[in-house]
Every structure is written in structure tokens, then in C-alpha cells.
Amino acid sequence: MDGDRLPDEVVLGMIARRLTEAMNQPWQVTGDLAKGPGSLAVALGEDHTGHPGHVDIDFVLNVDRPEDTTISDCATGYGTTPEETVDRAIEIWLGTTGSALLELLAQDGSFAGHYAADDPDGFPGWHTIHGGITGWGIGDDFQAVQHWAADNPLAPHLAPALGGSFERDHLIGVKAFFGSGGDSETAEIRVNGVHHEAASQALAGLPWPRPADGMSYARTFLLLVHDETRDGVGDEVRDETA
């Protein structure tokens, strides 16, 4: 969709409304932030695409310590108007990345699932929250990749490529976006908003479906909460989300 980008304050207002509905607690726009209960806030990251439906979202668990408690991600929506397109991007973010972040706060399984550090379907050594899985496409098999992702946890396949590459020992956000259509194929991993080439190649090498006709794509998000091999880190994260 062509058109001008919505003003930041409008986008933040749309995010605040969505989070208010999801958490049943008030969020409101204050300056360049959408502020929620306690120390929670959302800021908009720097636009790196120029696409009017692309939104870069920085979810901050503690506004007094943004460098240690910010989980960054982005999403692109689609629609016939700028408002519809951005709202769809926020919906995609909330259903994947947002679900993992809200589960970090809730800690009761109501938003997303948990994997212990020793779970064979999890990320070795890390407590992991697995956000929702969204999918879209065209044709009879448009949900094929989404269904595959639900049946085949990505964390143990990505761990060898990701291990040792993190800049901190807590709150690592890992987004996966992959699928194919026609002659085009995409397999991308972003870690805290930054493209990770080795993990993207690992994802591309997995046997997810490539429908011969139409297209099928999926997106999901893993939140690696804390490295359980390091003493005290789990307590620190729990303090930030209390």
C-alpha cells in the first residue's frame, strides 16, 4: 500500500488501545511513549523501511533501565488505508511477540506456553516462552507452514546457530518469519530486532512445507527469559517483571 506514514503519536495510541484491551489495564500515550501499568512502556523504533504499514516496536519492561529490559521487534501489516495497515501490523505483533511478552508478565500460561531449560523442545539452558504462531498465504495449503511450525518447535533447531551470540544473559527476543510462494522463499531470524544470518540459514535448512501452488508463510516469536546456567539471573528478571 502506498501513502504517508501515520504520525508516531497516532501509532502509539493504536498500540496503547490494543494493550489496554489485552491486559485489561490502562495504557496511555505520554510524550513519545505509550505507558502502561508500573514500569511498562512502548516506544517506536527508528523506521528502517519507509513502508507506511511497517511498525518498529520497543517494549520496555522497566523505563528506568531501558538498555537491559527492552525487547525490540517489528511487523508489517496490509490493508486499504494507512490506519487499517498499521492496525494489522500491531495485531500481528501482539499475536506473536506481544503474546510472549504479556505471558512474561502474567506467568500463568494465559498468553503463551513455557519451556523449561531442560525441555527437549525448548532452548537448552534457557527458560523460554513461546509466543503465538500466525500464518497467511494463498491457495489450498496456505496454512501449511503455520501448522508445521505448531508441530515442530524451532528452539532446539536454532540453538546451535544462536548459542554464544547473545549480548546479554536475559530477555532475548527471537523472531522467526519463513515461508514460500512461487519462486520466492524467505527464512529470517531476528534477535532483538537484528538479523541473524547463521540462524536464518539454519531455519532455511529445515523441512518446512514449500507448497507447489499458492503461498504459505508463518511468523512466531521465542522469548528466552534467562540463562539458567548463571546464578542470580532468574531472580533479576523476576524483579524486573514483578
40, 33 contact by CB (below 8 A): no
Neighbours of 60 (CB within 10 A): 23
Over residues 55-64, the mean pLDDT reads 96
Give the percent of the chain with pLDDT over 90. 83
67, 51 contact by CB (below 8 A): no
Measure Cα distances from 81 to 48, 56, 71, 99 in Å: 20, 19, 28, 26
Predicted pLDDT at 218:
97
pLDDT per position as a tens digit, 104-131: 999 999 999 999 999 999 999 999 999 9
73, 190 contact by CB (below 8 A): yes
pLDDT per position as a tens digit, 122-166: 999 999 999 999 999 999 999 999 999 999 999 999 999 998 889
DSSP letter (8 states) at residue 42: E
pLDDT above 80 (res 240): no
Give phi and psi for 93, each to the nearest 5. -60, -45
Q: Which of 14-23, 188-197, 233-242 has the lowest mean pLDDT?
A: 233-242
pLDDT per position as a tens digit, 23-56: 999 999 999 999 999 999 999 998 766 677 899 9
In the structure, what pLDDT confidence band is assigned to residue 20 with cuts at 50, 70 and 90?
Answer: very high
- The reply to whether the predicted model has a pTM over 0.75 is yes
pLDDT above 80 (res 230): no
Predicted pLDDT at 182:
87
pLDDT above 90 (res 233): no
Q: In the numeric block, which cell numbers belong to residue 205?
A: 535448512
Instruction: Output Rg (C-alpha) for the chain, integer angstroms.
Output: 18
